[in-house]
Every structure is written in structure tokens, then in C-alpha cells.
Amino acid sequence: MSEKQVKKIDVGLRQFIKDMGYITGGAALLGTMPWLQSFTPDKLNELKREKARIALIGTGSRGQYHIHSLLSMEHIKIVALCDIYPPNLEIAATLCPQAKKYTDYRKMLESPDIDGVVIATPLNWHAPMVLDALSAGKHVFCEKSMALTMEQCKAIYDTYQATDRVLYFCMQRMFDEKYIKGMQMIHTGMIGDVVGARCHWFRNHDWRRPVPSPELEKQINWRLYRESSGGLMTELASHQLEVCNWATKRIPQSVVGMGDIVYWKDGREVYDSVSLTYRYNSGVKITYESLISNKFDGMEDQILGNKGTMNLATGKYFLENDNTTGNSGIEQLLNQIGNKVFAAVPAAGSSWRPETKKEYKPHYIIEGDYHINDGLSMIGAVKDGSDEILSSFCQACITGDKGKDIVEEAYSATMLCLLGNQSMDEQRVIAFPEEYKIPYMHF
């Protein structure tokens, strides 16, 4: 990889923050998105020539994705790799021949030569590994979601409050340029009052991976079994529910939903089709839907305002009263009459109001080239914020900056996913439990 490409990955978001400062004032941006405070151009100067010594636990597809990203960053050195599945560990070792190999993560955590740990394992291992790594004095970066159970999430949160170690969870939309600028537009009133949110994530894939031997089925296809996975909610919805909370600056008070295994009747235990509604105290609702037997609509994160709609996943927004778009309501009616859609003009009734439009004009959150994640990859997407949040963590391993609000956002989103699963399982409305509320949350 060329020096120019390395620089683009390492300082791309820093430059974005700097550029945003000329538009809205850097203090305004960092005040509303405080996790970016440890990722500014000034902080880059603190690194000097230091390198964070990073170890990886889990060298499967996502772990290898992170390895490729880490190898492009100048301020890190991969010193250790750990996996219980030899083929993955050997592939990772070819990428990092200088790294020491382990099959027991606890043994690896004993090493004094490790500053930070990147965890990319099945969900059921997140809590024990995060807690063990923090206990061993390591900084920790863990894939989403936070944990498999609500009790585990609270244990991680409480431990984090009592430690001086850095803890990140891969909520990459918090470091995605489209989402950062789009949220700033939302919070400054671009689309008016937020009146709803609609999110969906559709794929057409069975989520299965080849299994060389039957006894490895649950180890390799861990996403399909409840002992190791929360299914579509923890794997996909965690990102999107975090976005909704980010936009509203609130946490829903309740959820109701339905989940089924509609198409992939192959012995899996997690739903392949989910539909849920989350309700905030204000009455604003999130409608969430996901299935993996049809990919027509892909992925969208829509925040609905009374003055417009922000589609953060596609990097576009649409205004309700846009003078550059379409015809007025009466013009639409007259055109319809001219085209013989109607036989006559209504003689009485309320005045025609443009309550609907035939077409909305798209406006772009970021001008110029930007990447759109179609949501189809099971490994990762280019420029979705994953590289930036990982780079920020590695920087924090050197500076000690804890990354304000990242743990709290991951906790909130994960809890909503787990409550959604509970609602679908029990087929009833579930209120957010008092014992799992934390001071960060506003309802």
C-alpha cells in the first residue's frame, strides 16, 4: 500500500473534522459528537513516533478484515494473534509473520508486550474476553454487539466505569462521514422535528459457511444458534438502532415485535425475518425490519422530520417543501385531469393541499465522491467508518483517551436489540427495565 493510501486511512476523518470546522465551527461539531475529540489533528501530534502494540483474538473473516486495516496504519504494530480454529490462525499468521500465535486468549493476555486487544469473536465470547482483557490491564476494542445477555452488558458497563483502560465497541457509523454530517444537519433543524424513523436491512443469503467436519458446525456457523448469537438484531439492527438514538438523543421506552423463521428452515435457531416497533416517550416510533431471503430494498437508515427526510445510509436528504422539486398540488391535479385520470374537477370540499408529491429531489449530505454501503457484505464495507474507529482506538492505546460516549452508545443499542429479541420470543410489549438504565440514557 502506498504512503498516500496510508495517510488517507489514518488522517481522513481528522481532515474531515478540520474541514467541518470551517463550515460550522470545530467546537460545535466536537461538542455534539464528543467521541471525535480524541481523533483530531492536534491529537495526531501527540503520537510522535510511538506505536500501539496490538493483539487480535479471533482471526476469521472480520478479524482478517481488521488485520488488513491495521497493517495500513503507521501508529500500530500487530504483536500477537489468537484463535482456536487453526486454518484461520494460519491465514492470519501469513499476514503478520512477526506476530506470536496463541490458542488460549488468557495465556496471551499475560504478555506484558501487549497494549491493546482487538476482539472479533462470536458474540457469546465478547463479555468474558472483554472483562478478562480489562482485568489484565489491556485496552480493548470489541466487535458489536456488546454482549449476548443484558446481565453481561451491565457487567461490562460497570467494569468500564471503574477502570482507567480504554474500551471501544465497533459502532462504526459514529465515525462515518455521511452520518456525522447528516446528524449535524438533523440536530440543527434541517429536517425539522424528528417525527419517526424507518430502518431496514435486507439480504438474500443463508448466513451459512462451509463446515469441513460436522463437529465444527456450531463453531463456524455460530450466528445461527442462540447459545452464541442474537441473530439479526445483534448482527445488524445494533448499528441502526444506535443511529436512531443518535438522531433523537433519546432511548425508546418500549418495544413490540414479531420474529419468525420464514425461509431458511435448515435447523437454525435464530429468526430469519423480524419486524419491530420501538416507541419513545414522545410517541415517536422506530419501525425496524430485516430478513435474509430478499435483498431488493437493501439497507436504509431513514430519519423522518416534519420538514424533510434524512437517508443516512445513502448519503441523501429530501425536503418536504422543496421549490426545486415537482409541481404544486393544484398543478398535479390539473395535469391528472388533462391526462384523463379524473373525469371532472371536484366541485366542493377543502382546498387542494400538496400533502403528497410525485417526486422528491435528492440533496447530498456530502458533496463529491462518497461510498454507499449496500449492506450485502457479511465481512465489512469500504469507508463505513470501521477503519476510522479502529484507528482511533489504536491512537487511544497510546494517548489513553477513553473515547467519550462510545461504550454508552454500544450499551444502549445492544440492550434495545436484546429487548427486541425478548419481545419477539414472548410475543408482548417489553418496557425498558429500570435495573438496566444508566445515567447516560434519556427517555
Q: How confident is the model at residue 369 (pLDDT cuts 50, 70, 90)?
A: low
Predicted local distance difference test score (pLDDT) of residue 142: 98
Q: Cell numbers of 352, please? A: 387542494
Cell of 47: 503520537
- CATH T-level fold of 3-174+384-406: Rossmann fold (3.40.50)
Q: Are 13 and 21 in contact (CB under 8 A)?
A: no
Structure confidence at residue 245 (pLDDT) = 97
Answer whether residue 324 shows pLDDT above 60: no
Q: In the chain, which residues fall in CATH 3.40.50.720?
A: 3-174+384-406
pLDDT tens digits for range 120-142: 999 999 999 999 999 999 999 99
Radius of gyration of the chain (CA): 23
Q: What is the pTM of this model?
A: 0.87
Residues of the chain with CATH 3.30.360.10: 192-382+432-436
Q: DSSP per residue over 84-124, as a string?
A: SSHHHHHHHHHH-TTSEEES-HHHHHT-TT-SEEEE-S-GG
Hey, which of 197-201, 358-362, 364-368 has the most confident mean pLDDT?
197-201
Taking the C-alpha atoms of residue 14 and residue 42, their distance in angstroms, rounded to an integer, is 9
* pLDDT score recorded for residue 229: 98
Question: How many Å apart are CA 393 and CA 99, to the nearest integer?
Answer: 19
Closest CA to 236 of 257, 261, 207, 260: 207
pLDDT band per the 50, 70, 90 thresholds, residue 1? very low
Determine the Cα–Cα distance for residues 197 and 209; give it in Å rounded to an integer.
33
What pLDDT score was predicted for residue 270? 98
What is the CATH T-level fold of the domain 192-382+432-436, as seen in this structure? Answer: Dihydrodipicolinate Reductase; domain 2 (3.30.360)
Q: CA 242, CA 5: separation in Å to the nearest integer?
A: 30
The alpha carbon dihedral of 276, 167, 142, 246 has a sign of positive
Q: Are 144 and 127 in contact (CB under 8 A)?
A: no
Q: Counting Cβ atoms within 10 Å, is residue 215 exposed (0-12), middle (13-18) or buried (19+)?
A: exposed
Residue 205 has pLDDT above 50, yes or no: yes
Residue 337 has pLDDT above 70, yes or no: no
Segment 40-65, tens digit of pLDDT? 666 666 676 789 999 999 999 999 99
